[in-house]
Amino acid sequence: MTEPLPPTDDLDEVERRLRMPLVDAMVTQRSIRRILPDPVEPAIVRRLIELGLEGPTGSNGQNWEFVVVTDPGPKAVLAKQYRRAWKIYGGLGQRLRKDDQTTRILKSVKWQVDHFEEVPVMVVACLKNGPRPPVLPVPAIADSSHYGSIYPSVQNLLLGARAIGLGASLVTLPLWSGIVARRALGLPASVDPTSVICLGWPIGKYGPKPRRPVDEVLHLERWGGS
């Protein structure tokens, strides 16, 4: 486990922290849902989004948009949606998977659900102009290309947050109702909210996380090949 870095709004210090070795950022980046309500320097959030834009997009569409939310109004709307979704998903999760890891995750999600209005910064990652029109004979992989165009940028943002020492978590349940989220954020019909990156200075620690071993997921040349 890595001790949390002290909060900073010094942009030179932020740039120094961003020089963390890539592999260290990758292996210790994890969902940090327990965060302080203290504000985060807006220039840091801007820098993270700028790093997000280094990611690839399908057909180089660059059809991403990022709405930074700090106002209580839209936060309260998203929090209400999160609670509604959590009632269903949290309940299901508790019934279906009772292992230690899931229990730990569900506890931390519950904490986030209960404190969602206090998250100082929410970055709502959006995509424009998609997905595929249902009337056109476009293959289903077009959906993958569309929605897959936001997550490389989101991962950059998460890794950057980790290097800076910010707590970050990627969540989708607060967008349970696209209509409600769109109205709260003033999004035009052509813009879909895809996910929310919650940012704040952490209460918890970064550190390694349990993952399936590589040999379990690696197939050489074809399915099942070893």
Ligand X SMILES: Cc1cc2nc3c(=O)[nH]c(=O)nc-3n(C[C@H](O)[C@H](O)[C@H](O)COP(=O)(O)O)c2cc1C
Compute φ and ψ for 141, nearest 5 degrees: -60, -20
Cβ proximity of 92 and 153 under 8 Å: no
CB of 82 to ligand X, least distance (A): 7
For residue 109, state whether it binds ligand X (rule: CB under 6 A): yes
Separation CA 92–CA 81 (nearest Å): 17
Here's the x/- map for ligand X, 190-209, by CB under 6 A: it reads as -------------------x
Q: 104 CB contacts (<8 Å, ≥6 apart)?
A: none
The reply to whether 159 sits near ligand X by the rule CB under 6 A is no
Nearest approach, Cβ of residue 110 and ligand X (Å): 9
Cα→Cα distances 178→13, 93, 126, 174, 175, Å: 38, 23, 11, 9, 6
φ/ψ (deg, to 5) at 165 = 100, 10
Q: Tell me how far, at minimum, the Cβ of 177 lies from ligand X, in Å.
A: 13
Question: Which of 94, 144, 172, 190 touches ligand X by CB under 6 A?
Answer: 172
Q: Output the smallest distance, CB 79 to ligand X, in A.
A: 12
Residue window 30-69: x/- pattern of binding to ligand X, with contact defined by CB under 6 A: xx--------------------------------------
Shortest reach from residue 89's CB to ligand X, in Å: 8
Rule CB under 6 A: is residue 171 a binding residue for ligand X?
Answer: yes
Does position 173 interact with ligand X (CB under 6 A)? The reply is yes
**Which residues are within 8 A (CB) of 65 and not within 5 positions of it... i.e. 6 or more apart?**
126, 127, 128, 191
Between CA 32 and CA 204 the distance in angstroms is 7
CB 14, min distance to ligand X, A:
22
Token pair listed for 164? 């800076």
Using alpha carbons only, give the angle 37, 39, 43 rounded to the nearest 5 degrees: 150
Nearer to ligand X, 68 or 170 (CB): 170
**Which residue is it, tokens 């978590």?**
169
Indicate the residue among 179 and 220 with the shorter CB distance to ligand X.
Answer: 179
121 near ligand X, judged by CB under 6 A: no
Contact residues: ligand X, CB under 6 A: 30-31, 105, 109, 112, 170-173, 209
